[in-house]
Amino acid sequence: MNFKYYAAFINERIARQAKWDSRFLALAEQVALWSKDPSTKCGAVITRPGNFVVSVGYNGFPSGCDDADELYTAKETKYSRVVHAETNAVLSARQSVEGCTIYVTPIPPCDRCASTLIQAGIIRVVHPEIDVSKIERWRAAFDSAMKMYREAGVEVVSVRARSATESGQGAEASGRDGSGEQNASGNA
């Protein structure tokens, strides 16, 4: 096979996947707006190969439970009741999510969600690139999640948002950020 042709083919596939990653992260941002949590609105979109949406989820209380605004402001109550966006997306899926990708925003999945995603068969996790200093209180949970992803062979992609004038595409995959995350091509 001609190397130049093969390299162009691979580069085109990477660019096409980056475009889909950007689209599905934007959709996850829209889903996050459905959350009643006043402090952190999280959204998740699960897709199967071929870029078909399987399920969506946002952080909120279990179906049928009281979700009055004041329950979200009482942190202990909120933390004990909330179902994370990733878990809601897995539970809402009407088909197996084995072999699927999950797009999560605005922060990566915690260790609790990572174990659910791994057990459900998710093989790829995509989230926006984050400023680690803004999420320091969750750092141990994210580090634990990354360790589990590495052990289970789950690909993790951190996507850096770009201005429309930079690319016209909206986002691009970033390289490793010290946490072991890969860019869209799987390279370090």
Name beta bridge partners: 83.
Answer: 60
Distance CA 166, CA 183 (A): 18
Can 86 be counted among the known catalytic residues? Answer: yes
Count CB atoms within 10 A of the CB of residue 112: 13
- φ, ψ dihedrals at 114, nearest 5°: -60, -45
Q: Exactly one of 12, 86, 151, 172 is catalytic; which is it?
A: 86
| Helix axes 111-120 and 139-152, enclosed angle (nearest 10) | 20
Distance CA 7, CA 141 (A): 38
Answer whether 115's CB lies under 8 Å from 109's CB. no
Just list the catalytic residues.
86
